[in-house]
Structure 1
Amino acid sequence: MIHSELRLKPARLLQLLSVFTFLFLAGCSGGGSSSGSGSGEVYPAQPGFNEKGSDKKAIEVADKMMEAMGGYDAWQNSRYIAWTFFGQYNIWDKKESLFRHEKGKTVSILAMSKGGGRVFDNGVEETDTVLLYNKLSTAYTHFVSNTYFLFMPYKMKDQGVTLKYRFEAKGPDGKPADVVRLTFDRVGVSPDNMHDVWIDKETHLPVLWAFYGSKEDKDPAFIRKWADYKEFNGMKLALNRDSQMDTLRISHLKVVETVPKDLFLSPTPIDKSKIK
């Protein structure tokens, strides 16, 4: 089992367990075999989704979006997802809550539900407890941001999320779109963030995303396109966030049933072509 090779010595495990278990439970609902799969609903809400505080129209728009994207079961039934984004390579085992992150020659492997992990720099394992904690915390932050940047539409009914319908507006191609706002209540690493999502009224796919650092902000910190949709294991995923910046394109995207153990646990960056 991969999990057994990611456990830390008792002192380190006790230090990390409470932090990563809390972060995982608070910020990652919707991964693996969480509730809702097989319920027959197009877009089942995860436990803790603020349905009472959400607009009925916003929920209806989200449900149509999920149907257009291939349905929630396709998301639930996907296990290993690998991709490159912003110069970082990621492999996420949704079923076992494992995450491999490569940035430069630094490799971090998180066993989030177990509160453990390992970090390697230039193939050498980090053994200092404080440095290990800091590096695993950084890797977890990358996990949250990188997964959300790719899978946000599948997490609009997660724990702590409230959906509000804002207005109809033109998307980046000039076509009408419904704008839905997401706010968060005490979940994730940045619960004060806020998002507006433009969902095309014809295709029902997200086409634009505005990110606000705080619910108090009047203007977004950035706006990104969602374009170049491709199908992966029944899911439609957008590969382009900004056509002018190659770093904001998602590449090496694979959705597979298995990943060789020696690749997932490799202390050095792997050959991406071997994930297939």
Structure 2
Amino acid sequence: MVAAPASAQQADERALQVADAMVKAMGGAKAFEQTRYLRFNFAAEREGRPAGPPVEHLWDRRTGRYRVAWTRDGKRYLALFNVNTQLGKAYADSQEVTGEDLERALKAAYGRFINDTYWLLMPCKLRDPGVRLKYEGERQEEGVTYDVVALSFNEGIGLTPKDRYWAYVNRETGLMDRWAFVLKGADVPPTPFLWKNWQTYGKIKLSNERVNPANGNKILFPALAVPEEVDDRVFEDPNAAVP
């Protein structure tokens, strides 16, 4: 596969055009802005088997309120916090934690928010502040034309600003068919994942399956939904029923 050359200025402008077209194909910026609540599970699968219990997420995108539950070292954790302030409460096996245990739990919860929502929403985050885009040309593969956009980050952006990504955007559909990434600036070949099973949820379109073509490992998003209403107690009461 050979990329078509482009000047630096053209590359940046073209990258922005591809990014905007991708958001439009996913429903449009207004539709994402109107999508207040996002509910999903983040599940990993290795060698055809679950790699562990799924991480359960519920996000009020308007206020930043967040509910996330995960398992670590045999304990079930739950955090009710705000992603804008990173403050809130946390529980381990249904018991509220305090002090350093609370700090660690909230740090882990915020890390899950950053990581898992990026795996879900990366295509609509190319214009986020601090993201650098570069158009790396056109690629042809199996009869499909892809526009390839490289992403890097300004220092201080996110938890791992040295990460690099490449988005392979299907020119016909406008959707991202796959990405590849190198984490933490490592000198290794990029790791690819196919983005499969694009579905409509409310007013937006999301992919609920990632597949590594090299080894078949998967990242899945079961229980993906965009509820129109969520009881406030879900973000305050650890025992509240999640929609």
Does the pair score TM above 0.5? yes
* Worse-superposed segment, 199-208 or 54-63: 54-63
1:160-175 equivalence runs, <5 A: 160-170=130-140, 174-175=143-144
Q: How far is the alpha carbon of 1:233 from its aligned partner?
A: 2.2
- C-alpha distance 214-53 of structure 1, shift in aligned 2 (>3 A): farther
- Residues 25-65 of structure 1, C-alpha deviation per residue, up to 9 Å, x if partnerless? xxxxxxxxxxxxxxxxxxxxxxxxxxx89711111111211
TM-score when normalising by structure 1: 0.73
Does the Cα contact within 8 Å between 1:82 and 1:90 map onto a contact in 2?
A: yes
Amino acid at match of 1:262: R
The 1:95–1:53 alpha-carbon spacing in structure 2 relative to 1, beyond 3 Å, is farther
In structure 1, which of residues 254, 262, 268 is the aligned counterpart of residue 233 of structure 2? 262
Q: Deviations over 1:137-169 (max 9, x none)?
A: 111111000110001111100010111011222
Check if 1:89 corresponds to 2:56. Answer: yes
Q: Which structure shows the higher helix fraction? A: 1
Indicate the structure with greater strand content. 2
Quote the offset at 1:99 in angstroms.
Answer: 1.4
Residue 194 of structure 1: aligned partner? 164
- 2:70 maps to which residue? 103
- The CA deviation at 1:68 is 1.2
Residue matched to 1:124: 95
CA gap 1:180/1:100 in 2 versus in 1, 3 angstroms: same
1:53–1:162 CA contact under 8 A, matched in 2: no
Alignment equivalent of 1:240, drawn from 205, 209, 212: 209
Give 3-state SS (helix, strand or coil) of 1:254's partner: coil
Q: Secondary structure at the match of 2:124?
A: helix
Q: Deviations over 1:203-253 (max 9, x none)?
A: 110000111114463511x211111011112111001102844x6111101
Residue correspondence of structure 1 range 56-95 to structure 2 within 5 A:
56-86=13-43, 87-95=54-62
Give the RMSD, CA atoms, in angstroms. 2.1
Relative to structure 1, is the Cα distance of residues 204 and 266 closer, same or farther in structure 2, using a 3 angstrom cutoff? same
Q: Distance in 2 between matches of 1:79 and 1:190?
A: 27
Secondary structure of 2:159's aligned partner = coil
> Identity across aligned pairs (percent)?
29
